[in-house]
Homo-oligomer: A and B are copies of this chain.
Amino acid sequence: MASKTPVGFIGLGNMGNPMAKNLMKHGYPLIIYDVFPDACKEFQDAGEQVVSSPADVAEKADRIITMLPTSINAIEAYSGANGILKKVKKGSLLIDSSTIDPAVSKELAKEVEKMGAVFMDAPVSGGVGAARSGNLTFMVGGVEDEFAAAQELLGCMGSNVVYCGAVGTGQAAKICNNMLLAISMIGTAETMNLGIRLGLDPKLLAKILNMSSGRCWSSDTYNPVPGVMDGVPSANNYQGGFGATLMAKDLGLAQDSATSTKSPILLGSQAHQIYRMMCAKGYSKKDFSSVFQFLREEESF
């Protein structure tokens, strides 16, 4: 088997770390960078090459994956003083798996294109567990002709790689899904809470909803009421899962996108405000299904 050409990886946090390891498992040598040198150590020990800036990654790899926490970090990694764009090679494929504002993705794509390279946005759904097991879903936006090339790499890290359309549509799909998820989850929590107060048994109510038109992923797969399902965060004091802070962040992106496209999101913006409040009241690190606990009328927490 001929050796593979190296792949750059920028951003080795909770998600980036296991993603990069899955690339290694598939035989790709890595060129690594993270603003926190400690995050690189593990890879260095494993024999991967660690460099000192995104620009240096771009010098040594013509396929690069970025996995960063916010729009600002992504802009810095691409357009900063030592950013990718300083040394990117013509024809390079740059895949950003961060969840950021689709408008920023489009901006970055324009700058990348000016340098003769290709940019794709490919945010993920699925958490750390899916990242470890290589079962992430990637939602990919960019030129369709390049999708196959992106798929080769993304398929090492995810079981589901979906082409969504032009640059920015990967982000759009991600934030759309998460907005609907947040609305359904809060709706499920409100509904279960109301039903319980009206005298319904929570397991029975969940069963009725799940065979009726109220059914949703939050009611049938990730029920927020303790005791209704096993193996979900509500069964474990809302530990693990997808934190309220992360949901609040995604809803902020949805809100920004809705404002700039003048789209009315009455429930979406309300959901954003609810997660914002939860973050201020001690729920930041709890799974987002803890909104049930938040709405429940009990003084102690």
Q: Which A residues form the contact surface with B (CB < 8 A)?
A: 102, 125, 137, 139, 160, 162, 164-166, 168-169, 172-173, 176-181, 183-184, 186-188, 190-195, 197-201, 204-205, 208-209, 211-219, 221-222, 248, 252, 254-259, 261-274, 276-277, 279-282, 295-299
CB distance A162 to B201 under 8 Å?
A: no
Evaluate contact between A267 and B173: CB separation under 8 angstroms: no
Contacts A198-B172, A256-B256 hold; do A137 and B212 have CB atoms under 8 A apart? yes
Complex CA–CA separation, A162 to B295 (angstroms): 28
Q: How far is the CA of A147 from the CA of B195 in the complex (A)?
A: 21
Interface residues of A, dominant DSSP: helix
Given contacts A183-B183, A212-B137, A259-B255, contact A176 B195 (CB under 8 A): yes
Q: Which residues of B contact A164 (CB under 8 A)?
A: 200, 204, 208
Contact between B186 and A125, CB atoms less than 8 A apart: no
Bound-state Cα–Cα, A201 to B172, Å: 11
Q: What are some 9 contacts across the A-B interface (CB < 8 A)?
A: A139-B208, A176-B192, A178-B213, A178-B214, A180-B188, A183-B191, A255-B269, A264-B295, A280-B298
